[in-house]
Amino acid sequence: MKGKVYLVGAGPGDPKLITMRGVECLQRADVVVYDRLASPRLLAHVKPGSERVYVGKLPDRHTMKQEEINQLLVDLALEGKTVTRLKGGDPTIFGRVGEEAELLEANGIEFEIVPGITSAIAVPAYAGIPVTHRDLASSLSIITGHESPEKLDRSIHWDKVTNATGTLIFLMGVAKIGYISDQLIQHGKSPSTPVALVRWGTRVEQETLVGTLENIAAKVEAANFKPPAVIVVGEVVNQRESLRWYEKKPLFGTRILVTRARAQSSDLVRLIEELGGEPCEYPVIETRDPSDAAAINAIEQALKEADTFDWLMFTSVNGVEAFYRWLQRYGVDIRKFAKARIAAVGPKTAEALQARGLAVDELPAQFRQEGLVEQLDASLKPGQRALIARGDLAREVLPRELNARGVETVELDVYETVIAEYQDDMALELLEEGAVHVITFTSSSTVTNLIELLRRNGIEEPEKLLAKSHIASIGPVTTATAAAAGLQVSIEPEEATIEALVAAIAAQRLADRANRA
Residues with catalytic function? 35, 57, 172
Distance separating alpha carbons of residues 267 and 159, to the nearest angstrom: 53
CB 285 within 8 A of CB 467: no
The residues that bridge with 438 in the sheet, in sequence order, are: 256, 470
Distance separating alpha carbons of residues 193 and 201, to the nearest angstrom: 22
Whether the ω angle into residue 462 lies within 30 degrees of 0, i.e. cis, is: no
| HEC sequence for 192-214 | CCEEEEEECCCCCCCEEEEEECC
Burial (CB < 10 A; 0-12, 13-18, 19+), residue 127, is buried
Going from the C-alpha of 213 to that of each of 114, 164, 374, the distances in angstroms are 36, 17, 68
Kindly write down the DSSP assignment for every residue of 70-103, as one continuous string: HHHHHHHHHTT--EEEEESB-TTSSS-HHHHHHH
Going from the C-alpha of 193 to that of each of 103, 113, 184, 213, the distances in angstroms are 43, 37, 10, 6
The tally of CA atoms less than 13 A away on the side-chain side of residue 142 is: 15
Torsion-angle region of residue 207: left (phi > 0), alpha (psi -120 to 50) or beta?
Answer: beta
- Give the orientation angle of helix 317-330 with respect to helix 347-354, to 10 degrees: 30
The residues that bridge with 312 in the sheet, in sequence order, are: 342, 387
